[in-house]
Structure 1
Amino acid sequence: MSRISLVDPKSATGDSAELLGNIHAAFGATPNMFKAVANSPAALASMWGSFGALGSGRLGAKLGEQIAVAVADRNDCHYCLAAHTALGRKAGATAQEMADAQRGQSSDPNTAAVLSFVRTLVEKRGQASDADVKTLRDKGFDDQDIVEIIAHVALNLFTNYINVALAVPVDFPGVKLVREAA
């Protein structure tokens, strides 16, 4: 049970109502996470705007979803793991690619480098080293890419914290956390 009320889109008003309408149009439903965040129109605008901006970024949807599951698993966020696994599949990732990403791994060397960097950021709370950034540069990632990777991590930390702290009910098909399975 959620620790905060979930805003019913039918009774929402103002900016939250408009944003929830846009979210419903994009998903064909209104995910519970957005209903929770709708308690703050400013937070909802920030989150939805970030998803939109990063969704049209250079990294692409598939890599964005792989980043999301890597972050979700490290933060024990059942909600984000379930949601982003489903979204990753829609973005063209295989089930194996999403399972590997959840572990911070990939058979693609460039994706593996990104996911390793992502895990470092999460586990060391942003304390990346010169060598960590150089590894990305050696794989062809430039300043724009590196900043965008960090922005994906930050957005996913935001969503993870909302869902974990507020116990938002998962409304996507469940996925087991790797750390639980170990």
Structure 2
Amino acid sequence: MTHFAPVDPDTTTGEAATLLAQVKKSMGKAPNMTKAMANSPTLLRSYLALSGAVAGGTLRPEVRERLAISTAQLNGCEYCLSAHTFVGGTVAKIDAGELDAARRAESSDSHVAALLALSATIAANAGDVDVTELDAARAAGVTDEEIGELVAHLALNTLTNYFNVLARVDNDWPVVAL
């Protein structure tokens, strides 16, 4: 059972209504996560701003989805694991093997594998990464721009993971068990 009552986009008013309308316009619906986040317009506004910012970055959608899957698995967030596995498969067209590999921060693509490994290392060590880890990523072609963007994705994914776990948001995606 959810710890946060979802805000009804059709009956709410004020900033929450405006933000949920923005979500519905961009996604076609307001997922349960955003309806729960709407209890705090500041949280929902922050999520939308960071999500929009990283969507315009250099990392391709299929990489972003893998990063989200890896972080959701690491943080124990079934909601995000389910959502990003669905989006990764249906929208980003990532094959099932690669979706599963992302849960272990792995990929058959060496560049993507390096990004996933670095992301997992950053998350596991609260950003305290040895230079050999950075050198290994750079040797696989990861740029400093991508590393910076990777940190932004970690922040976004950790935000949604922690909120969904805390709030116990009802999963409205095809469930992928942890």
Q: Whole-Å Cα distance in 1 between the matches of residues 161 and 138 of structure 2?
A: 28
Note if contact 2:114-2:142 (Cα within 8 Å) is conserved in structure 1: no
Q: Deviations 1:113-137 (Å, cap 9, x if unpaired)?
A: 1111111122222221111111221
**1:37 Cα deviation after fit:** 0.8
In structure 2, stretches of 5+ residues that fail to align are none
- 2:115 corresponds to: 114
**1:13 Cα deviation after fit:** 1.7
**Paired AA for residue 45 in structure 1:** R
Q: Deviations 1:114-168 (Å, cap 9, x if unpaired)?
A: 1111111222222211111112211222221110011101110000000001111
- 1:169 corresponds to: 170
**Paired AA for residue 123 in structure 1:** A
- 1:147 corresponds to: 148
Q: Whole-Å Cα distance in 2 between the matches of residues 91 and 26 of structure 1?
A: 16
- 1:5 corresponds to: 5
- 2:20 corresponds to: 20
The 10-residue stretch of structure 1 (109-118 or 129-138) with the greater mean CA deviation from structure 2: 129-138
Please give the root-mean-square deviation of Cα atoms over the aligned residues, in Å: 1.1
After the TM superposition, which residues 58-73 of structure 1 pair with which residues of structure 2 at under 5 Å, given as runs? 58-73=58-73
**1:94 Cα deviation after fit:** 1.1
Quote the sequence identity (%): 40
Q: Whole-Å Cα distance in 1 between the matches of residues 16 and 7 of structure 2?
A: 9
Q: Whole-Å Cα distance in 2 between the matches of residues 3 and 113 of structure 1?
A: 37
- 1:85 corresponds to: 85
- 2:31 corresponds to: 31
- Structure 2 residue matching 1:29: 3-state secondary structure: coil
- Structure 2 residue matching 1:8: 3-state secondary structure: coil
**Paired AA for residue 20 in structure 1:** L
Q: How many residues align?
A: 177
